[in-house]
Amino acid sequence: MRDRANHHSCLRVALQAGLLAALSGCAGPLSTLEPSGPAAASIAGLWWVMLAGSAVLFAMVLVLFYMVIRHPGWGSRVSPARWIVLGGLVLPAVILIPLICYALYAGELLLPLRAHAPARIEAIAQQWRWTFRYPDEGNVETENVLHLPAGTPVDIVVTSKDVVHAFWIPRFAGKIDALPGHENRLRIEADQPGEYAGQCNEFCGIGHAGMHFTVIVDRPEDFSAAVRNAAATGEVKK
């Protein structure tokens, strides 16, 4: 009896330790589960809904497994063909169809409204650094430091000078590829002023691990002055 209690205690401690370790990976400057913008919030919401749906589906399968183990012969009156239809099609469809509908809805929220043209910033990737150009601020440039105005949609026009890279600010939006000779557009919006982290999310050579950049979100009234000051002083962060 004591051995069984000790076993359950060790199992509970291991489970708690594993859960804490898993949750610790959901935080930090590159966490997609700490959104700081509407696009990232939509992506994080989709992740949580998918997790909940998969947990429900897994629980339903475990219930069937439990019934079979605890009650041998349970369900033997149901033909194999019907089990395939009910267990392989109907059971997943009950969960997967609502998940697909929600995923389509969340995806629509990420699409930019073409009728509105916000500020434009160009992100130019090159092994192994980022150059950001601000056409609305006289084409001034910053290196490895991206300035954004808080609470304002911004179109990031992403391209590359050499190989394929990927532009990603996890707390603002999803990633988008930086392709040589081609421009991709990503609309992002930052909720609050502060300092955030971005990185290249496509392996691009031996310096890939160091190809990250700092994102500084300024108050809208301070944005222009911050960009010009950063360009004038050659602000660079690694």
**Residue 151 vs residue 16, higher pLDDT:** 151
Model confidence over 45-75: pLDDT tens digits? 888 988 988 888 888 888 888 887 887 777 6
Full DSSP string of 130-166: EEEEEGGGTSEEEESEEEEEBT--EEEEEEESSS-EE
Architecture of 119-233 per CATH? Answer: Sandwich (2.60)
Number of H helices, E strands in the chain: 5, 10
Pairing of strands 194-200, 184-188: unpaired
Q: Where in the chain is the domain with CATH 2.60.40.420?
A: 119-233
**Residue 160 vs residue 24, higher pLDDT:** 160
CA distance 65 to 69: 6
Model confidence over 223-238: pLDDT tens digits? 988 898 887 776 655 4
Asked whether the predicted pLDDT for residue 7 surpasses 90, the reply is no
CB distance 171 to 35 below 8 Å: yes
CB distance 130 to 63 below 8 Å: no
CA distance 166 to 160: 9
Question: Is 207 in a helix, a strand, or coil?
Answer: coil
CB distance 42 to 110 below 8 Å: yes
CA distance 218 to 149: 5
CA distance 125 to 213: 11
Q: How far is CA 12 from the centre of its chain?
A: 31
